[in-house]
Amino acid sequence: MRKRFLPILIIMLTFIGGFLSGSLFANKPHNNEKVSSTPASLSAKSSILKKVPEKRQDSKVLIGYVQDFRNPAEIDYKSLTHVIFSFAHPTADGRILLNGDQAIKNLRAIVDNARKHETKVILAIGGWYHINGGESYDYFKAAISTPASRKKLVHELVSIAERENLDGIDIDFEHPRSADDAQFLAEFSKEMSEQLQPMGKELSIAVNAKVHSVTGTEIHSVVFEPAMFGYFDHVNLMAYDGQWDGEYNAANLSPFSYSANIVNYWTSLFDSHGFSREKLVLGVPLYAQPEDPSAKQISYEALLDHILENAGKDQVNINGTTYHYNGHSTLKKKTDLALSEQLGGMMLWEAGLDAQGNQSAAKLIANELVEHQDARYFTRK
């Protein structure tokens, strides 16, 4: 009997020894491999919920333009996905100008601060006013209207993007007024895209709303070549300053109906040309427009300073003048509009005007965008 069981006993001992050795090896960390203290899932079908990062690659954007004189320490980088530093000024021969040494210092400080929050920094070229006086239009048109000056401007912008570790360039040509303008802008955009795209940098553009705030009809005095929008990562809709359409009316600054008409116009245009709606970014104003045209605009911060209930309104009387703006409920409604119409996100003009703390428009919109993304993320999971 012992002889008969001996082979069986040897086989059993061999099997047990191999099993124990395999278990010990499996539990031993390999070279360069860290031991995790996180418990394994109880089932192959269940999964451990991971904390959703604040900024994912597929998240909606919240772009904030910031003027070059703002204090870099006061920008809400945590809420913003992009800061667009405004502005570099084009010269007729294709060079760029910044507003003195303080502007470049502020740009560099913004880049340093933004990196701590995974926020991208883009440099805007153009704007309404030029550093040398008057509108930027004549300077910008001259710079992009000849191959030589256009090539120089592209080179200048790409060089500063590389040198200052920027994430891209924003074009703010206000506003192309003819078919020639549109063609020059399209060629400039193409050449910028060809340089930036291989570098992994973004190209965006700020565009006129193209919709009349009173009649709701298309504005034909601003001319774009639609095919050029294929070159851009973001097309920032300046859905404000409607008070200048027709007779001055501060109430037309940027009501919800105006934004809805603008979104309808641009989504229809993009759909007809086969462009993704994700390129479109809906802009909102962070300032209040006075009914008295001789009075100055006031910032969102000044509007809500010590009068927190103003956040729940769209107009307020201050020192005898009525001001119109977008309160929190309207900003939330516009954000929901952008989300429902599958736009890429929201834009602020400008982030330096925002209120601080819980009254911040950027924080309000960012939370709305994050809630939307969280819902999509966990639905996919």
The encoded tokens of residue 228 equal 């050029």
Q: Provide the CB-side half-sphere exposure for 361 (13 A, CA).
A: 37
Reading the chain (381 residues) residue by residue, the pLDDT tens digits are: 333 333 433 334 443 344 333 333 233 323 332 222 222 222 222 222 233 234 444 589 999 999 999 999 999 999 999 999 999 999 999 999 999 999 999 999 999 999 999 999 999 999 999 999 999 999 999 999 999 999 999 999 999 999 999 999 999 999 999 999 999 999 999 999 999 999 999 999 999 999 999 999 999 999 999 999 999 999 999 999 999 999 999 999 999 999 999 999 999 999 999 999 999 999 999 999 999 999 999 999 999 986 889 999 999 999 999 999 999 999 999 999 999 999 999 999 999 999 988 899 999 999 999 988 766 544 444
Residue 124 belongs to a domain: yes
Residue 74 belongs to a domain: yes
Closest CA to 139 of 129, 154, 124, 152: 129
Residue 162 belongs to a domain: yes
Q: Please state at what angle helix 179-196 crosses helix 137-144, rounded to 10 degrees.
A: 70
The encoded tokens of residue 102 equal 């303080």
CA distances from 98 to 66, 85, 130, 314 (A): 14, 11, 10, 35
pLDDT for residue 57: 43
d(CA 113, CA 121): 10
Residue 86 maps to which CATH number? Answer: 3.20.20.80
CA angle 76, 88, 101 (to 5 degrees): 80
Residue 290 belongs to a domain: yes
Helix residue ranges per DSSP H, 80-178: 100-115, 137-144, 147-163
d(CA 34, CA 232): 42
Closest CA to 364 of 323, 316, 315, 330: 330
Residue 20 belongs to a domain: no
Buried b / exposed e along 33-49 (16+ C-beta atoms within 10 A): eeeeeeeeeeeeeeeee
For the stretch 329-333, contacts whose Cβ atoms lie closer than 8 Å and that sit 24 or more positions apart, written own/partner, are 330/255, 330/256, 331/284, 331/361, 331/364, 331/365, 332/364, 332/365, 332/368, 333/256
Residue 207 belongs to a domain: yes
CB burial class (10 A; 0-12, 13-18, 19+) of residue 267?
A: middle
Residue 69 belongs to a domain: yes
Q: What is the CA radius of gyration of the chain?
A: 27
Residue 200 belongs to a domain: yes
pLDDT for residue 307: 87
User: Residue written as tokens 């009501």?
Assistant: 255
- In the chain, how many domains are there? 1
Q: Which domain holds residue 121?
A: 61-380
